[in-house]
Amino acid sequence: MKTFKSWFLAAAGLSLATAVQAQGPAIIYDVGGKFDKSFNEAAYNGAEKFKAETGIEYREFEMQSEAQREQALRRFARAGHNPVVMTGFAFATALEAVAPDFPDTNFAIIDMVVDQPNVRSVVFKEQEGSYLVGILAAMASKSNKIGFVGGMDIPLIRRFACGFVQGVKATNPDAEVFQNMTGTTASAWNDPVRGGELTMAQINQGADVIYHAAGGTGRGVLQAAADAGVLGIGVDSNQNHLHPGSVLTSMLKRVDVAVYNAFKDGTDGDFTTGFSVLGLDNDGVGYALDENNADLVTDDMRMAVDSAAEQIIAGKIAVHDYMSDESCPVM
């Protein structure tokens, strides 16, 4: 009887382990939700592409409070989901605590570096894509006054701003760029009303093209710009369709690619950890051109941007990285 019981428990444990290992990948979205039309939604699109191509289901969680970061990570890891992807730098502290407790689980964090043996850290050269849309903003502006609205005031968003201003100034040294940040807490990512207010303040100063890097707050930026008859510039996802004819372009940050690659590599057994950088040279950033803004971007503008992209990739144009050096030369 004892032998049978031992065999039964061992078999049950094996079955449970097999069931846990069979769990698919999981993703945790940052505050603002997966349908923020920007950063989180780009991540969601990558997860959906993975599901459509592979037929493999994934689990997801939308945070409602800061306390849920570590809770969600531990819950997915305990359940056997692998890999577990999180969207945003703010997960770093929670991941530092959780990753060592689950050495057999692969994690991927976007926009931050976490030095753990089972973590893939994915960062982007946002300054390069922002430089390109800065060129477009300078060429489209009639007032020579341009705006930038950031979300949470952190070095990452300053990287967007610095690259953008550099692109503007390289194209039109006489242009003036107004800059505002929405706030200093996580709520800055999901405050479209405040985004609209900051945009109107810049418009009242003469800005006729305004770029946002503010997550869900950016919906208010683009709405206010469209309502006032000036041009907005979207970010992360292609936001041209939100206000056709009023969004000059969108700076594409391919968070969808980062999520898709993590899911695919994890399920294929090809998951690698360490530091991964996505920029112009590997289609990690770029600008959006489609039927919604085709009439706004002239052939000359497109040629100027594409030429600059080639020069950046070739190392002939050096776009300043605020994350490495906070003394941005053009701010």
**Together in a domain, 103 and 134:** no
Number of domains making up the chain: 2
Q: Domain for residue 5, yes or no? A: no
- pLDDT value at position 287? 98
Contact 105, 227 (CB under 8 A): no
Residues in Cβ contact with 246 at an 8 Å cutoff, skipping those fewer than 6 apart: 222, 225, 226, 229, 230, 231, 232
**Together in a domain, 215 and 260:** no
**Together in a domain, 85 and 201:** no
- pLDDT value at position 36? 87
Q: Domain for residue 100, yes or no? A: yes
How does pLDDT run across 32-67, given as a tens digit for each residue?
Answer: 889 988 899 999 999 999 999 999 999 999 988 888
**Together in a domain, 261 and 240:** no
Cα distance between residue 237 and residue 222, in whole Å:
13
Q: Domain for residue 3, yes or no? A: no
Residues in Cβ contact with 65 at an 8 Å cutoff, skipping those fewer than 6 apart: none
What is the phi-psi region of residue 59: left when phi exceeds 0, alpha when psi lies from -120 to 50, beta otherwise?
Answer: beta
- pLDDT value at position 236? 93
- pLDDT value at position 64? 85
| Full strand arrangement of the beta sheet holding 231-236 | 176-183, 145-152, 209-213, 231-236, 247-253, 285-287
- pLDDT value at position 17? 37
- pLDDT value at position 12? 40
Q: Domain for residue 8, yes or no? A: no
Q: Domain for residue 331, yes or no? A: no
- pLDDT value at position 319? 97
Contact 204, 145 (CB under 8 A): no
How does pLDDT run across 17-30, given as a tens digit for each residue?
Answer: 334 455 899 999 99
Q: Can you read off the two tokens belonging to residue 1?
A: 């009887």
- pLDDT value at position 15? 36
Which residues of the chain are under the pLDDT cut of 70? 1-22
- pLDDT value at position 2? 41
The DSSP output letter for 293 is T
Contact 80, 20 (CB under 8 A): yes
pTM for the full model?
0.88
Q: What CATH number is given to the structural domain containing 199?
A: 3.40.50.2300
Closest by CA to 222, choosing from 241, 205, 206, is: 241
Q: What's the domain range around 104?
A: 18-124+256-278
